[in-house]
Structure 1
Amino acid sequence: MSPALPIAVTDLTERRTIAVGRDPRIDEAVVASFGGQSPSALLKQVPYRGTTRPMRLDVVTIPRGCLLFGPGVDGIAFTAEGRQVRETAMFARADPTLTPERLQAAQDIDEDWVTVVDCAWDNHFHLLMLALPKLPLALAQLPGAAAVLPARRSEATGDRPAMLDQLLALSGQAGQVRWVPDGLYRPRNLHLIWPNHDQPAALHLFDETFDTFATLVRAVPPESARPLPRRIFIERVRDSRLLDPRAIRTLDRHLALHGFERVQLERLTMADQIRLFAGATHVVAAHGAGLSNIVFGGPHLRVLELNLDLDGQGALRPWFLILAAKRGQHYQHLNASACELADLPLGLAFDRLMGTRRQAIRLGLTRLRHRLGRIVSRLIRRA
């Protein structure tokens, strides 16, 4: 007997709508970094864009469904018949196949469970933006269900991120979750919280998911030590994502010119990260999970993302555009895959971000110098 074929979460029929999305007018939220810049590569993957499907956030119930916790497969859901719920395995880093024999050996649980994590939840974006906002919704909407999370694994380090412990402590929800060892479990009912869209980041088009971040900002006391920087550049410790040395040198010059300070978020506690972004006025960063923290910034925050075609399909990931749009923040981008990190577009982007005219004045002076040079050359030829 072969394993059952996967099923889309949108095809599961037992569902209850708990929130309706509001169109944040994503297309209008992009501020061009320079004249003529096209946002088309950025807008291609925006969930619901170009469809007439209503935006709904649902509690999805799988009677006698199974839940798998294990390294690289955390949070994968299966129907009672063993059909994998495809979207929950989207980020699996190990084989999520469930054989009929393994399905029969699942541990029966005589209670309802709700899971909020996916297989990439040790990534800051997935933890902060896709798991944590679902937790208060699960606790409020499913009071009779246990909210379950994968337990720390003794044979590995870092499987349960330290950031999660800090976030749960700040949110006051540390005592409301249950840590479950690796294994395959069959609760009475397995519940998921999922938009009626196959893209997990569609979650960010619902106002209700942002209540979590307001709670975290309120939970962090004001910083009493030295003032935190207001203009920040997020410097990635392990992977800069910017490989062109010339682009890096040009970027460094513009950052210094405009008074940006470098920060490495990996070296900060979650409370310090929240304080940093709550007080920041300008953020520049390459596309990466650290930009998730703009959700702690107010509408005064101005963002420049150095984006990159990571999939080779001519599209940029719009996840931070969506966050900025929902927060009412100024958002710009540059496409590193389209050579937009050269000196001219970078300078124009910083001009627009900072409300200055440095690059425009520089261009004007350069053109004037060239014009004067041509005039002098003509006069010399005539003499």
Structure 2
Amino acid sequence: MVLTRVQQKIRDLGPLDLVRRGFDTAVAPRLLLAKLALDTRVRYLDRVALRRSAGADRLSFGRAESVTVPSLPDAPEDLNRMSGTYRFDRPFVCQLSTARLLGADALVAAPNGALLLETSLGRRDQLERSLLAEPELLARTIRDPTAPGVARADDDRLANVCSFVDGCLGGYSHWILKGLPRLEGVAKWERQTGRRATILLSGNPPSWVLESLEYFGYGKQVAMWQGNRATVDGLIVPSIRSPEQPRSAYVHRFTYDLGYKIPAPSACRWLRSVARDVQAVTDEQLSTSRRRRIYISRSDADRRRVTNETKLVESLSELGFESYSLTDLSFAEQVRLFFEAEAVVAPHGAGLANLVFADDCSVLELFGEKIKPTYRMLSAALDLDYEFLRCDPMRSDLRADPTSVRRCVEHQLGEH
């Protein structure tokens, strides 16, 4: 597997460029600088420290839980090496009486200058990358670690704000699995205080960000962050509903650990429960409504397309499958589609994050050259029947054998 990837890189880049890139990757001076800065000068609060912070008014809810991702027989190492048990602390939402927002990614600084990991997706590597994108802020913080927390006369003034800016940084999957679950904490805070929160988003967010907030009832509580400095009176911080990623960006690039991607089962249940209320579907309607068998097409993407998709769809249609391109659907339509799904077949892609809205559903994920365990882990958190199929790599795309796909689906559905 590794040899095949190296050979492909040599063909794509040439040997000299590959060596140069390898050197840059190994040295990574900017990432090393960020690591040293956070190790020695830049203060930050991880989740435990935030929970214990004297300046935070905290409300805990739910309970601690765990998920076991079992190994799959005959699965490649890339799929099985994230097998194991993942533990989630009891979730919480806190409010800082005062805080500052800084830079394009709306980094949050407490009054003592400490930066919050929780508003950088709960990931130290993301916090470091956001700092590297703000060299003046990084330099000023290295000189004076308290500087980020010192309010300035020209700061914008905000109140009762919850920043979702970092949730917009990683694309659709990160938004669904990292961003939207925060709304449970926001809802708990609103119920406790009787006040409404303002959801802060990065300027010009994707349509699915706005559509999803409208869907969950927060469409009229949105403000756009334009990268200015701001002092916030009452910053609302819900805990991220997945494991923290404590490694620096420099160390993380040499460590295979995607544990931070798995969401807490209770967060998934909450999202689906709210979606169910929005859809106004009762238990009786759910049991008697049509269950869909869906194939997710990536024909409009630039990679991981199924090159023989026409033949594959023809074969699956005989089992009652329908083909969908998710970019043609609104957010509400995507939720409804997965809400009604009995079986999902799809090449690896962000659209599979919609599995969070599925229930009692089988999943067959198609892989080409690269194998990633993201949706294997999500399926475990959701207790879904998951299978995978290695397909023939076609550079960045893949070719699926219709007979093999059909055999897997029939096995999952008990129709063989």
CA contact (8 A) 1:22 1:55 kept: yes
Match of residue 25 from structure 1: 68
Shift of 1:138: 1.6
Q: TM-score under structure 1 normalisation?
A: 0.68
1:171 aligns with 2:216: yes
1:236 aligns with 2:279: no
Shift of 1:8: 5.5
CA contact (8 A) 1:130 1:201 kept: no
CA distance in 2, matches of 1:6, 1:218: 42
Q: Which has the higher contact order (CA 8 A, sep 6+)?
A: 1
CA contact (8 A) 1:117 1:130 kept: no
Shift of 1:134: 1.0
CA distance in 2, matches of 1:328, 1:63: 39
Task: In structure 1, list runs of 5 or more residues that go unmatched.
Answer: 154-158, 358-383
Change (3 A) 1:166 1:189: closer
Secondary structure of residue in 1 paired with 2:199: strand
Shift of 1:230: 2.0
Change (3 A) 1:196 1:265: closer
2:387 to 310, 317, 332: 332
Match of residue 218 from structure 1: 277
Q: Considering only CA atoms, is the larger Rg found in Structure 1 or Structure 2? A: 1
Q: How many residues are matched?
A: 328
Q: TM-score under structure 2 normalisation?
A: 0.63
CA contact (8 A) 2:162 2:235 kept: yes
Secondary structure of residue in 1 paired with 2:47: helix
CA distance in 2, matches of 1:279, 1:179: 34
1:262 aligns with 2:327: no
Match of residue 316 from structure 1: 372
CA contact (8 A) 1:24 1:325 kept: yes
Task: Give the 5 Å matches for 1:259-298.
Answer: 259-298=320-359
Q: Higher helix fraction: Structure 1 or Structure 2? A: 2
CA distance in 2, matches of 1:8, 1:188: 19
Change (3 A) 1:233 1:127: same
Identity of aligned residues (%): 21
What is the RMSD computed on CA atoms of the aligned residues?
4.1
Deviations along 1:5-56, one digit per CA (max 9) or x if unpaired, are 26352353444543323234332xx7x5xxx42375334346xx457x6633
Shift of 1:88: 4.0
Match of residue 149 from structure 1: 199
CA contact (8 A) 2:160 2:236 kept: yes
- Alignment-mate amino acid for residue 351 of structure 2: G
- Alignment-mate amino acid for residue 57 of structure 1: P
CA distance in 2, matches of 1:332, 1:179: 40
Deviations along 1:155-208, one digit per CA (max 9) or x if unpaired, are xxxx32322333233322334455554422232453422358314956722414
Change (3 A) 1:5 1:334: farther
- Alignment-mate amino acid for residue 353 of structure 1: Q
Change (3 A) 1:26 1:180: same
CA contact (8 A) 2:296 2:324 kept: yes
CA distance in 2, matches of 1:332, 1:302: 8
CA contact (8 A) 1:150 1:160 kept: no
